[in-house]
Chains A and B, each alone.
Chain A
Amino acid sequence: MLKIIYGDIDSDNYIFDPDTFFNHQYKVEWFKDTRVVEMIKDVDKSHVIKDRLIESPALGMISPERLSGGVKTLILIDKKDSYIFNASACGDNCAKWLLDIGKEKDITVRLGYLMDFGREDFEIEIMNTGRIVHTLKELDDEVIDNNLLV
């Protein structure tokens, strides 16, 4: 399940800057994984050509270091699940992938804004209150009513 901690967080395994963390921690074999390839295609509109080579429509041939902060964070959440990553580096266009990864395994991320998880039902645990929510309205109400973003 996708578990979210809203607001500030103080934990030894919390990574505030997933962009830089990715640059120093990514592994070449990750780019053979189907979900990684699909996430890069969907979020960055880019294609994994081979190993460290990615074709971006705007930037041409790029290395993984030049992927967007959002897709880097998604890949880390999928591949390094012993850490808590700052998912505020992800825009709304990453939400469906967070839910997708969360359907397969338990992942915990930190968020500092109200990400749009769409109109379909989902299952997200808000770690601050322990409540499991199933719709965007339920989630937004829980975050706002409990003042979790301050």
Chain B
Amino acid sequence: MTGKYDIRVYDSNISYHLEVKRNITILQGNSASGKSELVRMVSDYNRAGISSGVTIVCDKKCIVVGNSDNWKEILELQHDRIIFIDENNSFIKTKEFAEIVNKADNYFVLIYRDSLSQLSYSVEEIYGLRETRDTQKYHEAQKVYNEMYKIYNLEEYAPIKPELVITEDSNSGDVNISKIAEQLPKLIEV
């Protein structure tokens, strides 16, 4: 499975919009931002389909896998799916889980704050959830809309204007800072 997928999960009160781009997406952030509620809604949809009252719009099937004795077997049977796993599943940190993820053709959305050193994932795919009030995009005033934001945003920068840059000597340090100033004029003005 490759590419980018839009996921919309909603009921009459809450709406989520996520975009997953790689095989592992991590959701973290503050408590009460709606992470577990999202998993609950996907799980309800898995169990009862449209009878759950939840709607999921996505090109791939979204499922929740939780703690059970046969989590390995369940995961190994999944193909071409987006799999949500909440933080109360102790198997996330195991070597067996990492092996399954590495071999799988699924995407995984993991709700987890601890470091997962046995998995390879991009720092840019670590997100939080936040409520959005963009009235251009969302029209139902009663509804709570949630969207992803990057926790470690490597694209954003704040321009700085130091009054003075002191380098160690006129050799490498000075050349280095001068080059940075040339290449990133918006970042540093020397």
Residues in A whose Cβ lies below 8 Å from that of B34: 58
Q: Is the interface of B mostly helix, strand, loop or mixed?
A: loop
In order of increasing CB-CB distance, the 8 nearest A-B pairs are: A70-B31, A112-B114, A68-B32, A91-B30, A91-B31, A93-B30, A17-B88, A44-B32
Name A17's contact: one of B90, B114, B117 (CB within 8 Å): B90
Mark interface residues in B89-105 (1 if CB within 8 Å of A CB, else 0).
01000000000000000
Mark interface residues in B13-55 (1 if CB within 8 Å of A CB, else 0).
1100000000000001111111011000000000000000000
The chain A residue with its CB closest to the CB of B67 is A17
Q: B10 CB to closest chain A CB, in angstroms?
A: 13
In this assembly, does A69 line the interface, its C-beta being within 8 Å of a C-beta of chain B?
Answer: yes
Contact A94 B31 (CB under 8 A): yes
- Between B30, B87, B90, B113, the greatest number of chain A beta carbons within 10 A of the residue's beta carbon is seen for B113
In this assembly, does B144 line the interface, its C-beta being within 8 Å of a C-beta of chain A?
Answer: yes
Q: B113 CB to closest chain A CB, in angstroms?
A: 5
The answer for the CA separation of A17 and B114 in the assembled complex, in Å, is 13
The answer for the CA separation of A150 and B114 in the assembled complex, in Å, is 10
Which residues from 58 to 99 on chain A have a C-beta closer than 8 Å to any C-beta of chain B?
58-60, 68-71, 88-94
